[in-house]
DNA sequence: TACCGGTACCTAGTTCTACTATGTAGTGGT
DNA sequence: ACCACTACATAGTAGAACTAGGTACCGGTA
């Protein structure tokens, strides 16, 4: 993946995944697939799993294990109240940053 | 500073500084001040200087030392051709990422 | 039976960037 | 002599994404 994109994803990928979980539970492999479909074609699987471990430890999601028809059991993640709060803060932070940056772009800077 | 903002700045702060340098050379202390004026009130001075060292080593800027009326001599940074190229890539990467994220926001996700 | 592709999860070690905390210097004013 | 402001510098820390593997379960096929 481009080095720029890698660095830019720091701090945003977590928000992206939380947003994906809004209103719809999902498991790791599924999230990876969704990210790929949405254009993030080169996000490594390991990156997603590490992130999921992190947000689980931070208490932003609830986890349930469900047997799969094919392959090992899935770990299904659901956004909880604290996760929604975190996602809200993410949108605030994002709005501020993207506002500033778009300003710079407009100024031809 | 918020932890979220800190992480989100990784990968974007460099682009922001390159954008600030477009069409107008500047020195470190000045850049720090400009960032503060534009709302990034809590960006540490040391962060800016470290970043400037990095982009100089990457060859994105030209540097000239100029005596100051007050205080030690200034190191004035000017965006060069390679820097403009890098900034261009930054805008591309940013456009893609912000496009995806705005899409997620619209979906109420 | 043996193998392979697809599904699904996991982790140790590396790299990069921003922050913390502190230090050094030059100038002008009291 | 001291202080405030200007101006630059850096060693050490933390956090997040990547690399590069590995484990495990299932179905189909040779």
Q: Are the C-beta atoms of B59 and B81 separated by less than 8 Å? A: no
**Residues in contact with A55: Cβ distance below 8 Å, sequence separation at least 6, in sequence order:** A14, A17, A18, A61, A77, A83
pLDDT class for A68, splitting at 50, 70, 90? Answer: confident
Of residues A5, A19, A97, nearest to B109 (C-beta): A19
- d(CA B35, CA B49) in angstroms, rounded, equals 13
Q: What pLDDT score does B23 carry? A: 87
Question: Domains along chain A?
Answer: 3-106 (1.10.10.10)
Interchain CB contact of A106 with B (< 8 Å): no
Q: Confirm or reject contact between A49 and chain B (CB < 8 A).
A: no
Bases on strand D under 7 Å from any protein CB: 5-12, 15-21, 24-27
Beta carbons of B101 and A11 less than 8 angstroms apart: no
User: What pLDDT, on the 0 to 100 scale, is given for residue B1?
Assistant: 72
The number of residues making up chain B comes to 109
The stretches in chain B having pLDDT less than 50 are none
């Amino acid at each position: 993946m481009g080095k720029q994109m890698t660095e830019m994803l720091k701090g945003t990928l977590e928000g992206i995944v939380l947003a994906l979980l809004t209103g719809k539970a999902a498991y790791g492999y599924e999230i990876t697939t969704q990210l790929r479909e949405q254009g993030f074609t080169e996000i490594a699987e390991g990156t997603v799993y590490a992130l999921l471990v992190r947000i689980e430890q931070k208490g932003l999601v609830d986890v349930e294990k469900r047997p799969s028809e094919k392959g090992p059991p899935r770990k299904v993640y659901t956004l909880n109240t604290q996760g929604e709060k975190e996602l809200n803060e993410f949108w605030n932070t994002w709005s501020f940053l993207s506002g500033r940056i778009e300003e710079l772009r407009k100024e031809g800077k």
